Amino acid sequence: MKKTIKIYLGSLVILLFFPGFSEVFGQNARIKFDTDRIIGEVDKNLYGNFVEHLGRCVYGGIYEPGSPLSDANGFRKDVLEAVKGLNVSLIRYPGGNFVSNYHWIDGVGPKNERVPRMELAWARLETNEFGTNEFIKYCRAVGSEPYLSVNMGTGTIEEAQRWVEYCNIKEGPYYAELRKKHGFTEPYNVKYWSLGNEMDGEWQMGHLNAEDYTKKALEAAKLMRLTSPDIKLIAAGSSNYRPHADPDHWNRTTINNLRDVVDYIALHMYVGNPENNYYNFLATPLVMEQRTDIVRGMIKEAMQKADRGNRPPMYIAWDEYNVWYRARTDELMQGTRALEEKYNLEDALVIGGFLNVFIRNADIIKMANMAQLVNVIAPVFAEEKGMFRQTIYFPLELFAKNMQGKSLDLVVDCPTYNTDEFYLGLGEAQTKQSNVPYLDVSATYNNGEVVICVVNRHKENAIKTDIICQSGEFSDMLKISEINAPDIKAANDFGVENVKTVSKPDVKAKGNTVTYSFPAHSLTMIRGKIK
């Protein structure tokens, strides 16, 4: 990204006396786009989510039988409608750390015959009342594709194969007939399957080193594909970026050893603001982009030697990402109310930054799953009395409903800043970022319409910006949507929606240039036709 001006945090005080950057620097910022400069097709699976048997995500979240707010399936109707509003493309299930001691057979069949188990990942009792068939029903109810994770910790490759058989084979073999016996005559045809979860982390039950993981994953993939040849497989990439870890070794080994068989490598990232430093926090999506670039290079090298037949190259799936730092003490990570994070405006802006990263790297990132869907570090929060949409709900909704088609390669010319050295989040490595652009931007082009998303990271100043089309002219009016609030710590609650998407007055556009002032600490989406 082109940057012509550098601003250091220590110098920002001088800007407090000026209404905008144009007065300080004598020129506007610039965003230039050309509809012929295409990065790649935006995959609908960038707008996925994640459900784990953790805290109140399942029980008391999406599923609460007996509640007056639930339907005949036990699904919370208010939550279901909120989830529909996110246009969730696919939902990953059942973990997460949970899956590494989960045996899917415990969660099928008559509910009165299901056996409760100790849930070792998050220190709770798993009743198994909600399992495979209930999850598939939920995906159908919200219009999402199911994405199942197999147990590569305490589980076996045979167990993984049998789950594929249960889900995807119409009739004949034992587990297909078992599904039919359970009342589901037609196969589910589950397309996406991950080979374990975070197997590089020492916290994972059944933790393996890279070499042993890929040996097991390769054999599991073989059996699963022999059962259902058209499934898509996701390998567990690194989630361990702690100071002592070697994530590059894990990722390189996984990519090289599984290059012929898997379709994606999964990466995870959680960030936070424990030091209450706004500018450091808003820079965290850059680290995701840097990690993407490193893995992209590994994939490119491995694909030169891969034998994949007519399958496309391996892609990246960021199938866990979010802001998570408040609910990270031992007490808040266990039990029935684990990981109940409450979000504010600055969290929503970071999520907007993550989504911009996905769009800017649409050629290699083909899947993303926010963790998680309800209650547990989630965009939807529910209690017995009702639910509300957290601040992070709105960037997800805005992108999922609008950012489609082809991702555009932009030129962004704007002021920048440098961060301090800081921890990305608990359990993460330190980083120090230079030349962080105040304007974080992505754009898509679809059916003659351009959509531009801009996060203005500046805490106090609007940034006046020339938006320049280099391949035509704007046609009439531009639609403007904005996520903002007077206070960066503004949050939502039951009956209180301080942070949401607001439609701003249309902007008349003429010729190839329009000038717009992006408000401080905001996410803005601009839609317009190009002629």
Domain limits, the chain: 5-40+408-530, 43-404
pLDDT in tens, 398-440: 999 999 999 999 999 999 999 999 999 867 889 999 999 999 9
pLDDT in tens, 469-510: 999 999 989 999 999 999 999 999 999 999 999 999 999 998
Per-residue confidence at 3, pLDDT binned at 50, 70, 90? very low
**Mean pLDDT score of the chain, rounded to an integer?**
94
Distance of alpha carbon 327 from alpha carbon 229, whole angstroms: 41
pLDDT at residue 127 is higher than 50: yes
Q: What confidence score (pLDDT) does residue 26 get?
A: 56
Reading the block at residue 294, the tokens are: 């490193």
- What is the mean predicted confidence (pLDDT) over 450-458? 98
pLDDT in tens, 188-207: 999 999 999 999 999 999 99
| Number of residues that this document lists for the chain | 531
Distance of alpha carbon 58 from alpha carbon 202, whole angstroms: 26
Q: Choose among 519, 379, 405: nearest CA to 454.
A: 519
pLDDT at residue 13 is higher than 80: no
Query: Which residues lie across from 444 on neighbouring strands?
Result: 407, 451
Q: What confidence score (pLDDT) does residue 476 get?
A: 85
Distance of alpha carbon 353 from alpha carbon 139, whole angstroms: 27
The CATH code that applies to domain 5-40+408-530 is 2.60.40.1180
Answer yes or no: are the C-beta atoms of 459 and 278 closer than 8 Å: yes
Q: What confidence score (pLDDT) does residue 388 get?
A: 98
pLDDT at residue 21 is higher than 70: no
CATH of 43-404, one of 3.10.20.30, 3.20.20.80, 3.30.160.110, 3.20.20.70: 3.20.20.80
Give phi and psi for 356, each to the nearest 5. Answer: -60, -40
Reading the block at residue 92, the tokens are: 């990953």
Q: Could you please report the per-residue DSSP string of 375-401?
A: SSS-SEEEETTEEEE-TTHHHHHHHHH
Give phi and psi for 108, each to the nearest 5. Answer: -130, 165
pLDDT in tens, 314-326: 999 999 999 999 9
Q: Choose among 129, 23, 32, 117: nearest CA to 74.
A: 129
Answer yes or no: are the C-beta atoms of 223 and 161 closer than 8 Å: yes
Q: What confidence score (pLDDT) does residue 204 get?
A: 96
Cα radius of gyration rounded to whole Å, the chain: 23
In angstroms, what CA-CA distances link 278 with 9, 116, 171, 288, 496? Answer: 11, 44, 56, 17, 24
Strand 439-446 relative to strand 449-456: parallel, antiparallel, unpaired? Answer: antiparallel
- What is the mean predicted confidence (pLDDT) over 243-264? 96
| 430 upstream amide cis, omega within 30 of 0 | no
Distance of alpha carbon 134 from alpha carbon 108, whole angstroms: 9
pLDDT at residue 395 is higher than 90: yes
Per-residue confidence at 182, pLDDT binned at 50, 70, 90? very high
Per DSSP, the three-state class of 22 is helix
Distance of alpha carbon 507 from alpha carbon 515, whole angstroms: 9
Triad 433, 315, 136: Cα angle to 5°: 110
Distance of alpha carbon 220 from alpha carbon 70, whole angstroms: 38
Per DSSP, the three-state class of 43 is coil
Query: Which residues lie across from 528 on neighbouring strands?
Result: 450
User: Which residues are designated catalytic?
Assistant: 198, 320
Q: What confidence score (pLDDT) does residue 23 get?
A: 44
Q: What confidence score (pLDDT) does residue 6 get?
A: 35
Distance of alpha carbon 413 from alpha carbon 448, whole angstroms: 25
Q: What confidence score (pLDDT) does residue 382 get?
A: 97
Which residues 6+ apart lie within 8 Å of 498 measured at CB?
345, 391, 485, 490, 491, 492
Distance of alpha carbon 239 from alpha carbon 403, whole angstroms: 27
Q: What confidence score (pLDDT) does residue 24 get?
A: 45
Distance of alpha carbon 114 from alpha carbon 102, whole angstroms: 13
Q: Choose among 156, 110, 102, 158: nearest CA to 133.
A: 110
Higher pLDDT, 12 or 114: 114
pLDDT at residue 290 is higher than 90: yes
Distance of alpha carbon 331 from alpha carbon 472, whole angstroms: 57
Reading the block at residue 122, the tokens are: 């998050």
- What is the mean predicted confidence (pLDDT) over 52-59? 97
| 143 upstream amide cis, omega within 30 of 0 | no
- What is the mean predicted confidence (pLDDT) over 57-63? 97
Residue type, 321: Y
pLDDT at residue 12 is higher than 50: no
Distance of alpha carbon 345 from alpha carbon 499, whole angstroms: 7
Percent of the chain with pLDDT over 90: 90
- Give Cα 125 to chain centroid, integer Å: 28
* Three-state secondary structure string covering 66-87: CCCCECCCCEEHHHHHHHHCCC
Percent of the chain with pLDDT over 70: 95
